Amino acid sequence: MWNIPEREFLLNPPRGFVFRQMHAEAQLLPDGRIAVSEKWFRHPPEIREFIVEHERGHIWEKRVLWGDDPDNTFKILDSETFGSMKDGAPTFIVSTFNLSEAMAESYAVYMTTPDELKRDYPRAFYFIEAMLQGASVDDAIELSSDYSISTLDAYWGSVP
């Protein structure tokens, strides 16, 4: 899938995918399909895979944030699983200032290079792992709370 040439993709798109002319490399569509643009084909296979996993991460984060409990978003923000809310300013992991993007990006790292997420952002790693194994948001927060948000010295919101 990740090595598919653009022409082959255009003639026979893989199930769940569509080609679109757009500014972004890929985008999750409202119907759940993932649209890719010509920019996606310029990347090596491992980057293509990461981009698609990021878009799939949006499906996952929407289920988590807007699932059974309307308070999930606030619970996750309060737990600082994907970043810090110190001094009233959000600072999310993986270079973003948006919870949705932080979760999608973390999901993509979990799916493509899980050891990297576990090493750099252990709390997010264990939260995602618990959720994918069927835990509730409350249980995933509790299970992951023993781990630091980040082990990186450069992390803006350095908290234990």
Residues 36 and 64 in one domain: no
Residues 63 and 132 in one domain: yes
Residues 112 and 151 in one domain: yes
Residues 37 and 59 in one domain: no
Residues 88 and 131 in one domain: yes
Read off the pLDDT band of 151 (50, 70, 90): confident
The number of domains in the chain is 2
Read off the pLDDT band of 25 (50, 70, 90): very high
Q: What pLDDT shows up at residue 92?
A: 72
Q: What pLDDT shows up at residue 89?
A: 58
Q: Of 53-62, 68-77, 87-96, 145-154, which gets the smallest average pLDDT?
A: 87-96
Residues 36 and 67 in one domain: no
Residues 56 and 21 in one domain: no
Residues 24 and 103 in one domain: no
Q: What pLDDT shows up at residue 32?
A: 93
Residue with tokens 């255009």: 10
pTM: 0.88
List the beta bridge partners of residue 36.
Answer: 19, 26
* Furthest C-alpha separation in the chain: 52
Residues 55 and 134 in one domain: yes
Range of the domain at 71: 44-160
Residues 15 and 77 in one domain: no
Phi first, then psi, for residue 74 (nearest 5°) are -70, -35
Q: What pLDDT shows up at residue 137?
A: 96
Q: What pLDDT shows up at residue 160?
A: 38
- Tokens encoding 6: 């653009």
